Amino acid sequence: MRVAIIGGGPGGLYAAALLKRLDPARDVTVWERNAPDETFGFGVVLSDETLGGIEHADPVVHAALREDFVRWDDIDIGHRGTHHRSGGHGFAALGRHRLLAILHARCRSLGVELRFSTEAPPVARLAADHDLVIAADGVHSTTRDAYAPVFRPRVTAHRCRYIWLAADFAFDAFRFEIAETEHGVMQLHGYPYAADASTVIVEMREEVWRAAGFDELDAQESVARCAKIFADALRGRPLRSGTSAWTTFRTVVNDRWSHGNVVLLGDAAHTAHFSIGSGTKLAVEDALALAACLAEQDSLAEALAAYEEERRPVVASTQRAARASLEWFEDLPLYLGRPPRQFAFNLLTRSRRVTHGNLRLRDARFTESVEREFGCPPGTPPMFTPFRLRGLTLRNRVVVSPMDMYSATDGVPGDFHLVHLGARALGGAGLVMTEMVCVSPEGRITPGCAGLYTGRQAEAWRRVTDFVHRRSPGTAIGVQLGHCGRKGSTKVMWEGMDEPLPTGNWPLVAASPLPYRLGGQTPRELSRAQLTDLREQFAAAAWRAARAGFDLLELHCAHGYLLSGFLSPLTNRRTDAYGGSLEKRLRFPLEVFEAVRGVWPAERPVTVRISATDWAEGGTSAEDAVGIARAFAAHGADAIDVSTGQVVAEERPEFGRSYQTPFADRIRHEVRVPVIAVGAISSWDDVNSLILAGRADLCALARPHLYDPHWTLHAAAEQGYEGPGAVWPAPYRAGSRRPPTGRTDAPKPRLSLGG
């Protein structure tokens, strides 16, 4: 097998060594355009997981690395004259030159041909002359560009400038230092990679970089300016640069990683921001996986498919974490006013990979100090602290998110709703929300949707609220009011989500006459008179909700339903006073909000659910979401429930754990309004992390409460918490401890007798 590798970085070199070691008969050649000692950056951080894979695959390389590694456990965070240290993290690093030298030596000892200072031949020629071509040619991959129609790359440039530098001394911890200058906020990321050397990365927003004049300085002047700005962190010592220059990070994503016998590896296939230290780690792990798949599969095509199938979910998860981290640093000015320890905790948990739970395991003393500053009583997890909205005090931070049940008859909730919502109320959540309750028969999504447009419906809801207040005192119950808009007159979810009814359809109305999906019903554009009628329907439903005993009301302005349809530029094409600019698109939803607030009891809170992005080009932007939240807050909204998407059928959401939380985080800090975070928050550890970091005030969970109606009480039991934030109903107290399981400590056999 003839193998050509384009790019002599760690990923390409390690792939070459592994392929040659696994089959010495292979002819492996590496082309590297730069000289052997020319590299970008100074130090490389590798995780214990990656090192374990290297040790298993090539003990010779692992032994050489182990001799040169610098290890440390601590992270230091400098912020407004305070320094906080968190321990137990476990890092290992070495110089990039040393890493390359080890890999060069290993490749040569195995018989790999290394061609330095040599441009690789065109990839098409290599593909014709070789059995396998591995493109490890970095973020600016010419191979990726050559086959762009196949790989379909998406390259996203971000908002910060950064530069790789070095200092001739070793930090004693991973160091984050924040500098607030007259030009804006700048940050330093530093870590040791040798006994007498550290990598230093200086980063700042593009506009700060220009305002500070870095765009007009030469390399030496830039380095000197950085050393002066961060003189305290550097203890007055200078910085030096190599071949690095100021640059902008680019996130690379490819729809495919292989084409014929050409395969992408490392930064050519994907990038992850340096703030989580994963670039070299991902490339080395790619090499391990590719070599293993080539050994395990019967054909090259099967091996490349298996390689991508194995690596893609791992890379996607890492990229989500990296994206969250880089955006946190881009938005760093939002967090500077937080209490010092909460700021440090927020930084440490920014990628969502480090959580409250594992940070407590790493450094319980630091985590407890953050909890004390936050106001957690001793032994109380953050999720079980109370929260006040207007005249309502919630005993904990858990919300049962609105979930459509499609089980009402003529809009009337029945026994199912009593049992469904009653069970969740008994399960310990601070606030239980109904599904979207519709304000008119035509405002229903399906024939099974509940309503509040008749007295009979209000009486049925009163039965539910009475049960919650009587049998689960301390639990609040809220109602979400909405109108389907263009997304109505469809089958119930399990018969065909968003599919039109075969018979019995009702006419739809919306901001503009645009069907939700191809083949769906086209709604009528609402007239001024109809807008007035709808506003009154919302007010009448809110009045009934108050009479029915709900503690909180949420106005549904998300997910493409009627009010959401006015807010999004993709669904509002009106040319009158209710369409065009964001201010005009907000006009009708705000009119409805004022009508609802006007009839809703003054002491009871009103929240608003919004879609903070449409996940589609030309839709609601992050800036729009902040503007929408600010407008509702100015009109008296007590909290913003921050969801995303479901506005247009062609959306492309970026799903992942807690994936909607950054939108809530930004609104909370820019608008200074309480927020409810929602979206793939699945563990109590996530809830504790989000609350303690100050990214959200409340967390709404849907599917976890379908899986386990007593999710909140079980979260308390699993954390050993007993207190006012999680009160077991008297009939259930005997179940407040996890039941014992079968024996797992049986004596192990001591003798093995042969036959």
Query: Rounded CA gap, 411 and 539, in Å?
Result: 17
Take residue 599 and report the two structure tokens written for it.
């009839």
Q: Which residues contact 693 (CB under 8 A, 6 or more apart)?
A: 342, 345, 346, 349
Active site residue 162: no
Catalytic choice (453, 561, 578, 721): 561
Whether the CB-CB separation of 174 and 72 falls below 8 Å is answered with: yes
Give CA–CA dist 318/648, Å, rounded: 28
| Three-class DSSP category at 443 | helix
Q: Which residues of 249-260 are buried (b: 16+ CB within 10 A; e: fewer)?
A: bebbbbebbbbe
- Alpha-carbon distance 252 to 265, whole Å? 12
Q: What is the DSSP pairing of strand 552-557 with strand 476-482?
A: parallel
**DSSP code string of 635-700:** TT-SEEEEE---SSTT------TTTTHHHHHHHHHHH---EEEESS--SHHHHHHHHHHTS-SEEE
Contact 704, 674 (CB under 8 A): no
Helix or strand run (H / E) with residue 201: strand 197-205
Find, among 620, 604, 601, the residue nearest to 612 by Cα: 620
d(CA 319, CA 109): 35
In whole angstroms, give the CA distance from residue 411 to residue 421: 16
User: 672: which 2 tokens?
Assistant: 């200074």
Q: Are 502 and 495 in contact (CB under 8 A)?
A: no
Read off the amino acid at residue 551: D
Residue keyed to tokens 């003798």: 751
Query: Are the CB atoms for 321 and 91 separated by under 8 Å?
Result: no
DSSP string, 498-564: TPBPSS-----EESSS--SSTTSPPPEEPPHHHHHHHHHHHHHHHHHHHHTT-SEEEEEE-TTSHHH
Distance CA 202, CA 620 (A): 32
What tokens does 293 get? 């798949």
Pairing between β-strand 262-264 and β-strand 258-259 as defined by DSSP bridges:
antiparallel
The secondary structure element, H or E, covering residue 49 is helix 48-57
d(CA 42, CA 242): 8
In residues, how long is the chain? Answer: 755
Whether the CB-CB separation of 179 and 185 falls below 8 Å is answered with: yes
Q: For residue 249, what is the enclosing H or E element?
A: strand 247-254
Output the six-digit token pair for 57: 């695959």
Beta bridge partners of 608: 555, 640
Q: Which helix (H) or strand (E) holds 631?
A: helix 622-634
Q: Which residues are catalytic?
A: 561
